[in-house]
Structure 1
């Protein structure tokens, strides 16, 4: 019988690529009854995402954010079979109104579950950061291809040309990622310091139990390890 692995309850920092020393200071019980909404505006409790199976849950800044768009575009490249083999659920949560979900999925090609927390209740109770902090030692996200200037221009242009002119969420809110379930256990958490501080997707997948590595440099290539 394989040795039991203790839950990971510390953040991974992008700066040093190591397990950090920041302990998780929240409980899933604090957010389990917060409502999230699907693309049709139907609400249900947050706990339904992880109650019965392990879930990788990624919180994005806003749907107009260029870095979030490019990160979710890479999430869309994950083969369905990789998730099914590891028996995990992949979920993206935004903080806009629900009617922005469908256009964002069409834009990014994202085929998996996506919901919104328009009141930012879960973001706030998890203590996710507002505003941004950049450090000299921070490594650029491997999933963001645009520079900050051109990325911001693209975000503003999308806002100006969208049917409803808004920024689809709080511009100052940062996101993060957790691996949770089944039940109320948090296996891993990472809260973003800035728009480029995403948890590398391969790291998330491997921590969740996916036995494959994806190459996001061009077309997704499966490398068995």
Structure 2
């Protein structure tokens, strides 16, 4: 499906005309936030998309699994909760009561499309339903903006899930999430189904951006994706190809059911539902290494 180019695709409402800077927020009470956890190095306030920083991938790379060594490093990356408390990323996929963990990486905290996606997740995959699946499942959301926005974002999206922030975008970068403002020509079902709430979500996201114009909602060109772990092992990854490419909720539920059915069988480890070891694993790993190298070189050039 051809992708639409241009600024109108970026967040469901266009690239927001606000300046994201490191100055102090004016309308959100920060007095109760633990200042000892605040570090400027944790934030990543990139410029909006430049043509030379647009990152594209081949179709097979969107489902390619990260290496075990890369995941080992990523588990040590610190994310922040709504109080700016830092926790290792690995803690998000550990629970004595749940064997399966879903982590959804959304775009920036002002993205209207992601507002609708969270609404779809909340209605079709609420925590109580996930907990009754086999195996019991939990879902966590990670965004790439300032963690100070999380409380208001939770309120405006009616989000029932735990939300964390990766403002440094270390996870997004190392996992190879795409950078672009494209969008599918076909509107995703999670927007169609919640079309009425999408308009409301759009105004809410604009309102949040207007009230917090001096706080970064995240890099507006950064896309996300979805990942699933079972018993601590990564089983599935989907990287968004563009700003409207979250995995549909019905597809996630179908995948969760399939995984549950396979749990009692003796099967090879499923590293990805769409990638099989056909003898080309080494070549795929090499391709992935080249892609990550490209991402890191772009970020390095932008920092110089």
Q: Could you tell me which of 202, 209, 212 is aligned with 2:257? A: 209
Identify unmatched segments of 5+ residues in structure 2.
Answer: 4-58, 260-304
* Matching residue of 1:101: 150
Q: 2:138 aligns with which of 85, 89, 99?
A: 89
Please identify the structure whose Cα radius of gyration is greater.
2
The equivalent residue for 2:126 is: 79
Moved more, 85-94 or 23-32: 23-32
The alignment's TM-score, normalised by the length of structure 2, stands at: 0.55
| Gap runs ≥5 in structure 1 | 1-12, 212-225
Q: CA deviation at 1:205?
A: 2.6
| Residues 146, 215 of structure 2: 8 Å contact kept | no
- Secondary structure in 1 matching 2:120: helix
Which whole-Å CA distance do the structure 1 matches of 2:89 and 2:209 have between them?
A: 32
Tell me which residue corresponds to 1:68: 114
Task: Tell me the distance in 2 between the aligned counterparts of 1:204 and 1:166.
Answer: 32
The total of aligned residue pairs comes to: 189
Contact kept, 8 Å, 2:130 with 2:138, in 1: the verdict is yes
1:93-132 superposed Cα distances (whole Å, 9 cap, x missing partner) = 0011111111111001011111111100100110111114
Structure 1's consecutive aligned runs of 4 or more residues displaced over 3 angstroms after TM superposition are 132-136, 150-157, 163-167
Residue 48 of structure 1 aligns with which residue? 91
Q: Which has the higher helix share?
A: 2
CA distance in 1, matches of 2:241, 2:109: 18
1:112, 1:173 → 2: CA distance?
21
Greater share of strand: 1
- Please report how far the alpha carbon of residue 84 of structure 1 lies from its aligned counterpart in structure 2 after TM superposition: 0.9
CA RMSD of aligned residues (A): 2.9
**Equivalent residue for 2:235?**
187
